[in-house]
């Protein structure tokens, strides 16, 4: 699965995650376990996948490492 396709179909959250957000958005955003999110910040996706916190929502394919 390409990175673009994965982003379009979203990522399933396996463990709760937090990421920085603007101060007027509360400083930090959070996604809970079980959610499928399409708004995760692209620059952090590889790190979350590495630690098993998220996975592509459609697991029919896995994003190539160089695409993530």
Partner 1 sequence: MGFTHGKGTKFLLDLADGSGPSDISALFRSAQGLEGKSERPLTTTFGASAQRRQLLGLRDGGPIALGGLRQDTAGTKIHGKSTRILHDQYAMHGFLRTATLRRMVSLPDTTVFNDTWRRRGLVGLLDGSLALGGLFDGAAAALDVVWRAALAAQAPVLISAAAGGFAIGNLVDMGQFVVNSYGVNSPHDDTTEASADFDSDDRIDLGVSLHDLTAEVGTMNGASVNETAATSLGWAAHLHVTAITGSGCTIKLQDSADNSVWADLAGGTFSNVTAITKERLEGAATATVRQYVRAIISVMGASSITFQVSIARRGFTYGSAATYRHLIGLYEKALSSTFQYGPDGSTSGKPRFSGECRLSSLETSFPYDNPTAFTAELLTDGAIAEDVF
| Residue number with CB closer to partner 1 (4 or 15) | 15
The secondary element (H helix, E strand) that includes residue 11 is strand 11-13
Judged by phi (left if over 0) then psi (alpha if -120 to 50, else beta), residue 27 lies in: left
Alpha-carbon span 35 to 48, nearest angstrom: 14
Q: How far is the CB of 52 from partner 1 (least distance, A)?
A: 7
Q: How far is the CB of 65 from partner 1 (least distance, A)?
A: 17
| Residue number with CB closer to partner 1 (34 or 60) | 34
Write out the residues near partner 1 by the rule CB under 8 A: 15-20, 28, 30, 32-33, 44, 47-48, 51-53
């Amino acid at each position: 699965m390409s990175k673009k396709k994965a982003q379009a179909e979203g990522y399933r959250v396996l463990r709760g995650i937090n990421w920085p957000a603007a101060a007027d958005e509360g400083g930090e955003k959070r996604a809970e376990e079980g959610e499928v999110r399409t708004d995760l910040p692209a620059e952090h996706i590889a790190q979350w996948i590495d630690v098993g916190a998220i996975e592509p929502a459609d697991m029919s394919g896995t994003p190539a490492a160089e695409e993530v």
